[in-house]
Structure 1
């Protein structure tokens, strides 16, 4: 009678262990959702009007921008992005919205533009070196190339 109890408990223990392994494996493959940047409220973003609002009213309505234009302070950008990630993989964007508010020199809203995920591009670097223009120097030229150039008499060395 003890052999039949042992024979029943061993397969049951294996089944429990196998179930545990499957549960951990499936749990590790779950998708993680992420949100980055500005949280878009359609009511607020639709309330910004051309010719009516100015820089101050836009900041009061939408808050501080995600970033300001690089070449001019007359553009505000509000960026929102949602991502999904499978276990330990890199997150990939599933939706993105960029709201650009442009101002004239007086600070009044001139245009409001929206773009989506269609402008997201994937960059693939080619290898682990960045190609540059210039001289191709050998290993020894890199090491010994400055001998005599730094601190040489007549080259503007200090104390001369």
Structure 2
């Protein structure tokens, strides 16, 4: 019976320890170095790149044709925001005929964490306080020329 209690306590501590570990998540393209090295500028074209690397994460809409393969891995400790552990963008550039001209890779050096300024979204228009909104209409309701007076159609 004592060994059962020891095993149960050890299992409980094991579950608690795994509950406090970080959570890892991979998103986007799963990079295979062998396949990336197989794509050669001047030799490959769009069809061979798609056959080797698969469909791109996104493609350029303007300018020269570029296919982007984006891979990102995040880590998150319990009760915290996720943080990017690794990030990689492979850009495959094509000429007008669809042949690979060059390949570029970028990583964490281009990752930027954006934090909002505050909990409020700035808007255009007048900036009024709560009290100005609350008491701003006093005296304007029913004033002449504002459409609220008695009036008009011939004294009945």
What TM bracket, shorter-length normalisation?
A: 0.5 to 0.7
Deviation at 1:52, TM superposition (A): 1.1
- 2:67 maps to which of 61, 65, 76: 76
- 1:94 maps to which of 85, 104, 113: 85
SS in 2 for 1:127: coil
Moved over 6 A (4+): 18-22
In 2, the alpha carbon distance for the partners of 1:69 and 1:128 equals 34
How does 1:4-153 map onto structure 2 within 5 Å?
A: 25-72=16-63, 74-132=65-123, 134-136=124-126
Deviation at 1:63, TM superposition (A): 0.3
State how many pairs are aligned. Answer: 129
In 2, the alpha carbon distance for the partners of 1:119 and 1:58 equals 25
In 2, the alpha carbon distance for the partners of 1:110 and 1:129 equals 46
Deviation at 1:137, TM superposition (A): 5.9
SS in 2 for 1:58: helix
In 1, the alpha carbon distance for the partners of 2:34 and 2:15 equals 42
Alignment match, 2:142: none
Structure with the larger helix share: 1
> Once the two structures are superposed, what CA deviation does each residue of 1:62-88 show, in whole Å capped at 9, x if it has no partner?
000011124357110001111111123
TM-score normalised according to structure 1 size: 0.66
Deviation at 1:125, TM superposition (A): 0.6
Gaps of 5+ in 1: 1-17, 142-147, 149-160
TM-score normalised according to structure 2 size: 0.68
Alignment match, 1:153: none
In 2, the alpha carbon distance for the partners of 1:61 and 1:74 equals 18
Q: What's the RMSD between the two structures over aligned residues? A: 3.1
Deviation at 1:136, TM superposition (A): 2.2
In 1, the alpha carbon distance for the partners of 2:119 and 2:83 equals 22
